[in-house]
Amino acid sequence: MLRHIHRFLLAAVVAVLAGCAGTPFTFGQASQVKVGMTEDQLYEIMGNPYMVTSREDGQMWVYSHATAFGGAKSVSFETKDGKVTKVPYIPKDFIAKPSPDE
């Protein structure tokens, strides 16, 4: 009986973890990225982007994270010639408190 409970718990943990998508990040991290930083600095702060898209005027690095519990968030940064050219506006109250999925 105990063996079945362990298997069920393991399966539940695997299902929850499989339900997460993207790279976890905080809005506090995102607020540290500044215009003029290099793409390497962006990577150091934010980690692997969920997606990088090419645009006429450079690239857009998109960070997105969703959980199995319905929480989702995303931010994007524009880059050109290896430098950050545009950062998102992040309200202070987003930085001060973690989102429900953190």
Which residue is it, tokens 């319905």? 70
Mean pLDDT of the residues in the chain: 81
Inside any domain, residue 8: no
pLDDT at 4: 44
In this structure, what DSSP letter does residue 97 have? S
Query: Which is more confident, 90 or 98?
Result: 90
pLDDT at 20: 53
Contact 32, 77 (CB under 8 A): no
41-89 residue pLDDT tens: 999 999 999 999 999 999 999 999 988 777 889 999 999 999 999 999 9
Inside any domain, residue 2: no
Inside any domain, residue 87: yes
Inside any domain, residue 90: yes
- pLDDT class for 33, splitting at 50, 70, 90? very high
**Global confidence as pTM:** 0.71
Q: How many domains does the chain have?
A: 1
Please report which helix (H) or strand (E) contains residue 31, including its range.
helix 27-32
Inside any domain, residue 101: no
* CATH number of the structural domain spanning residue 35: 3.30.1450.10
Contact 39, 82 (CB under 8 A): yes
Inside any domain, residue 16: no
Question: Average pLDDT of 5-21?
Answer: 44
Inside any domain, residue 11: no
Which residue is it, tokens 């290896």? 82
Which residue is it, tokens 């994270």? 65
Domain that holds residue 86: 21-96
Strands annotated E in 1-102? 21-22, 51-55, 58-66, 72-80, 83-86
